[in-house]
Structure 1
C-alpha cells in the first residue's frame, strides 16, 4: 500500500494562499514527512483533477470556487458541512469525507479575542463564507442576524439556514440603515472598498468587526472601525487549518494534535514571518 502523504490547497486564484506555509510549519513540529502544495483548479476542472489523484494523496484543502463542488463530490459530510452546503476539507480514501472547518475557525479566532458570546450579529455578504459565519455566530448564541448583500436575492439560502438554526435572519441591501449589533462579520471579497457613507453607517453600532479578508490588511472596512475590536481573517485561516490537520492526522476535527500549543505557535510564526 502506498503511504498517503501528499496534500494541497486547490482554488482559483491560488497563488496568494498562505496554507502551504501554515501546513509545512505544523508538519515540521509534528514530525510528519508530508508534502503540501497548491494547485490552481477551476470549478469546471475540479472533477477531472480529483479523479486524477493516485493513492499517494491524503487530502485537500479547498478554497473558492470549489467549496460547493467538493460538497457534491464527498460521500460523507460533517455537521458543519451539512449545515452550510459547503466544505473546505476533503479527506481522501476509499470514500471521500468532507468537512467544513471554517465554522470552527471563526469561533476559535473570536475566542482568542475573548468574544465567546453574542446575541445579535450582522453578516456582510451572501456566499459560502457567509453561511459558515451564520452557523458560527449561532453557535455562540446569536438569536438575530442581519444579512447585508449587494444582491439581497442571493441570501435566500441564509434565511432558510437561519430557520433551521432557529434564529431570525433578516436581509437588506448593503446601503440600508442598520440597527446596533454585537458583532459584524464581513465575508466580502478581499480588496472590497465600500462607499465611505456605507462603511461609516455599518461601523456605527456595528460592534466588534471580524473581517474574513486579510490581504491587504488592514482591509478598507477595518480602517473605518475606529476604536472597536477588529479581528483579522488571519485568525480564521490559522484555526481552520489546525482543524484540517486534525482531520488529516486523526480523521476528526475535534481530536487535539500532539503538543498542539507548539503547533499553533509555529503556524502563527509562519504567518508573521513568511519565507516568501
Structure 2
C-alpha cells in the first residue's frame, strides 16, 4: 500500500471511530506521539454507530487517518478503494488512511497481536482457544496462526454469528483445524486445553465458570484494557500465567497506525507510558 507522507509541519486530523467510543485510549496514545515528535496534529474520538460509517465519510472527508473499533471493522471493507493483504485476510480493517481522496484500508490488529504476544511470551502456541467471534477475535486468531497455532477453538454463544470468524482463521496458509464450541456450555469443571486462551468478550461476561475453565493454559490474552483487570486477567496474574493485555495490543497496533498516518517512526515507549498513566488515573477516579 503506497501512501504519500504529509509534510512534517502540515496540521492533520485523525480520529478513532466506533460505538461505544468514550472509553477509548487511542486519543491518549496518538496525541502523546504527536507531542513527542512536535507534530501539530489532532486526534479525536467520534461516536459512529453500526451502519453510519458511509454517511460519516460523506459528511466530512477532511481526515488524514481513522482508527476503527467495534462495530465498524467489517463494515468499512465495502467503502475502501484499496486493501492490504492482511486486511483482506482478516476480513476486517481497523485503519483507514485518506490519501488523495482514496480510502486505503489496513489491519494493524494482526501484526500488533503478534508483537504483543512475543513481547510477553516466548513459548509455543500450537493449540489455542479464542473466546468471542467478532473482528478482533478473527485478527488475533490469525495472529496466533502466524505464531504456530494449528488447532483453534472458537467459543461463542451463536455458531451462525461465529461463521465469518471461523472462515477467516481457517483460511490461514497453515490450514489450521478450526472448530466451534458453545460458550454457554462451559462449566467450572471444563478445562480448555492447549497453550493459550484469547478473550475478546466484555468483562461482565467473564463468569466464574469461564475463568476456571482457562486455568491450565500457559498464556492468557485479554483483549480488553478497560476495566482492568478483568476477571480473566486477574486470575491469570494470580496463577502466574503469562498475560498479554489489551493495552499491549493497543500500543502495538496504534504504533503501526501512527506510522501509516504520519510517515514517521512511532515513539512507542512514550505512547505506552501515556496509556499506562491514563489507565492508572481511571482506576483512581
Q: TM-score, normalised by structure 2?
A: 0.86
Equivalences for 1:121-160 in 2 at 5 Å? Answer: 121-160=128-167
Q: CA deviation at 1:81?
A: 0.9
CA RMSD after TM alignment: 2.1
Alignment partner of 2:39: what SS? coil
Q: CA deviation at 1:199?
A: 2.1
> Could you say if the C-alpha distance between residues 45 and 78 of structure 1 is closer, same or farther in structure 2, counting changes exceeding 3 Å?
same
Corresponding residue to 2:261 among 240, 248, 263 = 248
CA distance in 1, matches of 2:221, 2:192: 17
Count of aligned positions: 264
Aligned equivalent of 1:81: 87
CA distance in 2, matches of 1:6, 1:146: 40
Alignment partner of 2:268: what SS? helix
Aligned equivalent of 1:254: none
- Higher mean C-alpha displacement, 112-121 vs 91-100: 112-121
Aligned equivalent of 1:67: 73
Over residues 186-245 of structure 1, what are the superposed CA-to-partner deviations in whole Å (9 max), with x where a residue is unaligned?
A: 1112x23333233212x2322210000111111012223322112211000111100001
Q: TM-score, normalised by structure 1?
A: 0.89
CA distance in 2, matches of 1:216, 1:182: 25
Aligned equivalent of 1:253: none
> Could you say if the C-alpha distance between residues 182 and 16 of structure 1 is closer, same or farther in structure 2, counting changes exceeding 3 Å?
same
Q: Which 5+ residue runs of structure 1 have no aligned equivalent?
A: 251-256
Q: CA deviation at 1:91?
A: 0.5
CA distance in 2, matches of 1:264, 1:126: 29
Aligned equivalent of 1:5: 12
Contact 2:111 2:253 (C-alpha < 8 Å) held by counterparts:
yes
Corresponding residue to 1:229 among 227, 231, 242 = 242
Whether 2:34 is the aligned partner of 1:27: answer yes
Corresponding residue to 1:92 among 90, 93, 98 = 98
CA distance in 1, matches of 2:170, 2:227: 35
CA distance in 1, matches of 2:163, 2:55: 31
Q: Which 5+ residue runs of structure 2 have no aligned equivalent?
A: 1-5
Aligned equivalent of 2:221: 210
Alignment partner of 2:130: what SS? strand
Contact 1:118 1:142 (C-alpha < 8 Å) held by counterparts:
yes
